[in-house]
């Protein structure tokens, strides 16, 4: 019947045996070594199979550059803006699709230059002895490897494997991909360097850029990619804006080819500088276009006035007509100049007002100064409107958010509203001045009526001619100034630190980090496995597990046997394993003496469950008694699962069962062994009622008869944790040995043993630990544990057993050589 004490084993389950864990961990050193080798091998293979990754950068400054030709005498005024918001605009432009599309197309980065290496395909852009020159207006085979092999310094072979009937092609001029029909199969053909290849799917030429001849026999791969895909890749350029110097931008790019990175960074900044300068010159270009249009009209007026003056001067004395009218002519000409300047301003205001009301693109507005307008509000707002209009047009390339469009449209609307109010105010002010000038002209013209008709006509013609000529010369001067100002413009973007390959920039793969991670994982993974095994495995690991869970004495530790049979002591009497059984014999004799047992002595061996080695221990303990010339008998009392007869190569036809049912006598069931002084009695046929037979009086008579014939009686009994037979037999035993096995016996079974002892079901109990192997120690007693053998110091006392561990074999050989 179960007792409450049977469940006391739960009390000790929460304690952590750190020492046991360390010993357990050390015993799996092979796993750690294997884990390190595997992880380091994987890290090495990863490192050699990955291409090196580089990161190069360039630094640019954004600083407003004043035009050196702007002076107080310059009649044209341009508002170039400043660096406010320009840094962010430039950073956005560098990531825009249109900007990167232009850069990639100019560098032809959609062409891959590759070469097969041992573990990967390398990007050899800038390292090839040739460059590819394509005809953008014709088709190129799309995303298909084109193998180039140089047969001689000036001849190469083009091969394309497995062409299909429908060959994918791309036209970079039209940015269209499609298919064409062609014969299927492999394509192989030779061409001369510089020769144009004209095929339905390939239109290019190879031009040499290096004079070395070491490229003969080398093979390269060319692939034509999608422009949009390559552009998307380069839009990921890293842009950093300095916090302490917000006008400084740092561009960096990662890649496997430093030549490609350097070319891209250089070109992207050059394109940016050109686009920024073009944007800066847009105001001047619009002004020049406006002046050119005006000059064309003025040329016509000037020719007409010249012709009219020639017609008037024909057959007339012009010198006589000119005399006397100089004062009137000068006065009226001054008034005409003033009136023309006012009219040009009014016309510009009217044109600008209509343009703002009827147009949505304000990037083509001319400078107000071309019409003589020097109002700073109008000049500033026109410049701002042009800048906003250009920015909105560029946003279509890279901005998809409607919120951004709404924001800049709102800014344009606000500037336009302010500008229209400025125009109305300026027109109101100038119209009064215009009416005053017209009044003065009317008064001057009335004075001319007092002059002769010829002189009036001549002065009238000269007024128109001189005014047209002066206006024409003024516009010529303004055009010249605008061109000079445009030519002298400086970009606001400057290189501070151009990109350059100086031998560094390596950022990956991080080989050292990979090796450190490999070492860490090589230890961690086995450690986790051992940790899980330690907590999952609740079996007895060492003597500490026994001593910490019971007060029952441990009288012996048996190592792992390396023989095929259970007759380990008889087969190798000088082995360390045999000595461990002799040590148990000595301990048993002490126990017998302590209990004052005289005459024949009885020893019972049992265990928790089957498989813990009690039969093995029974045979070898009996053997050490017999080898000391003591008459010994082994009695197989495991009637349910007979085993012991196999070790002595006899049949289990008759045995204890036959005696207990009074079918055979003791002499008839007793069998001799090849070991002197050792007999054994097998269990015999399996009975239907083993417990009842053991509890019968014939069992008592059997023990008494055995005591009369033998010095030591070894009872091999069933496991006490499975059946109660051993409990019934315990009354006949002077000493009981409870066999436990390393990594087999569960710790909770120790508590069940404690309960049986405390209830008096088992008496005079001692424990034997079987199958012990302390893998965490080398040298002394390796393989047998508990100090039996003493390693190299046991030479001559024990028979050396060849270890199965290669490391231990090597260690022993080294140790033996040192002691010779």
Structure tokens at 712: 């030591």
d(CA 252, CA 197): 37
pLDDT of residue 631: 94
C-alpha 386/C-alpha 364 separation (Å) is 7
The more confidently predicted of residues 2 and 200 is 200
Distance CA 763, CA 735 (A): 7
Q: When comparing pLDDT for 451 and 809, which is higher? A: 451
Q: How many CB atoms lie within 10 A of CB 147?
A: 18
Q: How confident is the model at residue 277 (pLDDT cuts 50, 70, 90)?
A: confident
Question: pLDDT at residue 781 above 70?
Answer: no
Q: Residue 786 has what pLDDT?
A: 38
- What radius of gyration, in Å, describes the C-alpha atoms of the chain? 55
End-to-end Cα distance, the chain = 63
**In CATH, 543-818 is 3.40.50.300:** yes
CA distances 204 to 115, 146, 192, 195, 214, Å, are 19, 12, 12, 8, 23
Distances from the Cα of 579 to the Cαs of 94, 624, 798, in angstroms? Answer: 85, 9, 8
Mean predicted confidence (pLDDT) in 361-382: 76
The domains of the chain are located at 4-50+511-535, 111-225, 285-489, 543-818
Strands, E, within 486-631: which ranges?
493-497, 506-508, 554-559, 601-607
User: Residue 796 and residue 510: Cα distance in Å, rounded?
Assistant: 56
- At residue 778, the pLDDT reads 34
> Does the pLDDT at position 325 exceed 70?
no
**In sequence order, what DSSP letters do the residues of 127-163 get, joined into one string?**
TSSEEEEE-TTS-EE-S--EEEEEEETTEEEEEEEEE
Say what the pLDDT of residue 82 is. 43
Average pLDDT value for residue range 381-399 = 72
Reference 113, options 3, 204, 30; nearest CA is: 204
d(CA 585, CA 591): 10
CA–CA distance, 88 with 92 (Å, rounded to integer): 6
Tell me how long the chain is: 820
Q: Which residues contact 149 (CB under 8 A, 6 or more apart)?
A: 156, 157, 159, 217, 218, 219, 220
Q: pLDDT-derived band of residue 175, with 50, 70 and 90 as boundaries?
A: confident
From CA 522, how far away is CA 38, in angstroms rounded? 7
Q: Which residue in the block uniquely carries the two structure tokens 């990955």?
A: 50
Decide if pLDDT at 451 tops 70. Answer: no
For the sheet containing 197-199, what is the strand order? 130-134, 202-208, 197-199
User: Is residue 717 pLDDT above 60, yes or no?
Assistant: yes
Q: Between residues 471 and 731, which one has the greater pLDDT?
A: 731
Residue 203 CB partners (closer than 8 Å, separation 6+): 134, 135, 138, 139, 140, 196, 197
pLDDT score recorded for residue 12: 44
d(CA 644, CA 664): 19
pLDDT bracket for residue 639 (50, 70, 90)? confident
Q: How confident is the model at residue 329 (pLDDT cuts 50, 70, 90)?
A: low
Q: Token digits for 505?
A: 């920039």
Across residues 110-122, what is the average pLDDT? 93
Residues 6+ apart with CB under 8 A from 317: none
Given pLDDT bands bounded at 50, 70 and 90, which one contains residue 785? very low
Position 58 pLDDT exceeds 50:
yes
Residue entry with tokens 């170039």 = 80
In the chain, % of residues over pLDDT 90: 27
User: How would residue 487 be classed by pLDDT, with cut points 50, 70 and 90?
Assistant: confident
């Amino acid at each position: 019947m179960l007792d409450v004490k049977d469940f006391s084993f739960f009390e000790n389950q929460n304690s952590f045996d750190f020492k046991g864990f360390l010993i357990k961990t050390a015993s799996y050193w092979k796993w750690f070594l294997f884990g390190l080798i595997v992880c380091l091998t994987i890290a090495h293979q990863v490192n050699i199979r990955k291409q090196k990754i580089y990161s190069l950068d360039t630094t640019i400054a954004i600083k407003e550059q004043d035009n050196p030709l702007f002076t107080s005498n310059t009649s044209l005024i341009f508002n170039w803006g400043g660096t406010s918001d320009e840094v962010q605009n430039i950073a956005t432009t560098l990531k825009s699709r249109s900007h990167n599309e232009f850069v990639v197309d100019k560098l032809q980065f959609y062409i891959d230059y590759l070469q097969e290496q041992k573990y990967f395909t390398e990007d050899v852009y800038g390292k090839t002895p040739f460059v590819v020159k394509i005809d953008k207006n014709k088709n190129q085979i799309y995303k298909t490897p084109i193998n180039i092999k140089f047969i001689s310094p000036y001849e190469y072979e083009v091969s394309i494997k497995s062409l299909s009937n429908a060959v994918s092609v791309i036209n970079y001029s039209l940015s269209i991909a499609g298919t064409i029909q062609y014969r299927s199969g492999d394509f192989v053909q030779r061409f001369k360097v510089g020769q144009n290849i004209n095929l339905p799917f390939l239109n290019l030429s190879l031009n040499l850029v290096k004079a070395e001849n070491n490229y003969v026999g080398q093979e390269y791969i060319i692939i034509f990619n999608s422009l949009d895909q390559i552009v998307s890749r380069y839009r990921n350029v890293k842009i950093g804006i300095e916090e302490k110097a917000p006008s400084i931008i740092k561009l960096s790019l990662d890649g496997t080819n430093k030549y490609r990175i350097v070319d891209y960074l250089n070109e992207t900044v050059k394109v940016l500088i050109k686009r920024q300068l073009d944007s800066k010159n847009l105001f001047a270009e619009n002004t020049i276009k406006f002046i050119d249009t005006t000059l064309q009209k003025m040329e016509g007026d000037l020719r007409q006035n010249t012709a009219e003056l020639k017609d008037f001067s024909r057959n007339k004395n012009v010198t006589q007509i000119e005399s006397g009218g100089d004062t009137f002519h000068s006065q009226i000409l001054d008034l005409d100049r003033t009136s023309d300047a006012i009219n040009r301003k009014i016309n510009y205001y009217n044109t600008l007002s209509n343009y703002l009301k009827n147009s949505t693109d304000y990037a083509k507005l001319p400078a107000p100064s071309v019409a003589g307008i020097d109002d700073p509000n109008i000049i500033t707002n026109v410049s701002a409107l042009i800048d906003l209009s250009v920015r909105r047009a560029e946003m279509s390339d890279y901005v998809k958010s409607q919120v951004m469009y709404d924001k800049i449209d709102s800014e344009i609307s606000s500037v336009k509203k302010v500008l229209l109010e400025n125009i109305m105010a300026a027109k109101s002010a100038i119209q009064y001045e215009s009416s005053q000038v017209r009044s003065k002209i009317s008064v001057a013209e009335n004075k001319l009526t007092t002059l002769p008709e010829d002189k009036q006509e001549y002065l009238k013609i000269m007024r128109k001619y001189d005014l047209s000529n002066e206006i024409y010369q003024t516009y010529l001067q303004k055009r010249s100034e605008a061109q000079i100002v445009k030519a002298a413009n400086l970009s606001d973007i400057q290189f501070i630190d151009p990109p350059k390959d100086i031998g560094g920039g390596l950022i990956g793969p991080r080989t050292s980090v990979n090796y450190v991670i490999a070492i860490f994982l090589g230890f961690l993974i086995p450690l986790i496995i051992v940790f899980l095994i330690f907590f999952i495995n609740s079996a007895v690991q060492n003597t500490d597990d026994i001593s910490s869970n019971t007060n029952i004495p441990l009288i012996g530790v048996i190592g792992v046997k390396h023989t095929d049979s259970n007759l380990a002591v008889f087969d190798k009497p000088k082995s360390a394993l045999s000595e461990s059984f002799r040590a148990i014999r000595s301990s048993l004799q002490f126990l017998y003496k302590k209990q004052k047992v005289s005459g024949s002595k009885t020893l019972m061996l049992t265990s928790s469950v089957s498989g813990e080695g009690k039969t093995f221990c029974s045979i070898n303990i009996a053997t050490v008694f017999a080898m000391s010339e003591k008459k010994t008998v082994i009695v197989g009392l495991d009637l349910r699962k007979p085993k012991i007869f196999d070790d002595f190569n006899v049949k289990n036809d008759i045995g204890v069962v036959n005696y207990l049912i009074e079918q055979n006598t003791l002499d008839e069931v007793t069998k001799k062994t090849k070991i002197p002084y050792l007999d054994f009695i097998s269990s015999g046929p399996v009975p239907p009622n083993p417990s009842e037979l053991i509890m019968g009086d014939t069992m008592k008579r059997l023990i008494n008869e055995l005591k009369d014939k033998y010095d030591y009686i070894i009872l091999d009994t069933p496991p006490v944790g499975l059946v109660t037979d051993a409990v019934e037999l315990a009354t006949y035993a002077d000493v009981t040995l409870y066999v436990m096995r390393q990594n087999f016996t569960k710790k909770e079974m120790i508590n069940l043993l404690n309960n049986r002892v405390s209830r008096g079901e088992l008496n005079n109990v001692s424990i034997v630990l079987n199958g012990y192997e302390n893998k965490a120690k080398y040298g002394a007693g390796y393989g047998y544990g508990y100090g039996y053998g003493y390693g190299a110091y046991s030479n001559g006392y024990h028979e050396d057993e060849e270890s199965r561990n290669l490391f231990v074999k090597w260690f022993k050989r080294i140790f033996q050589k040192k002691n010779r």
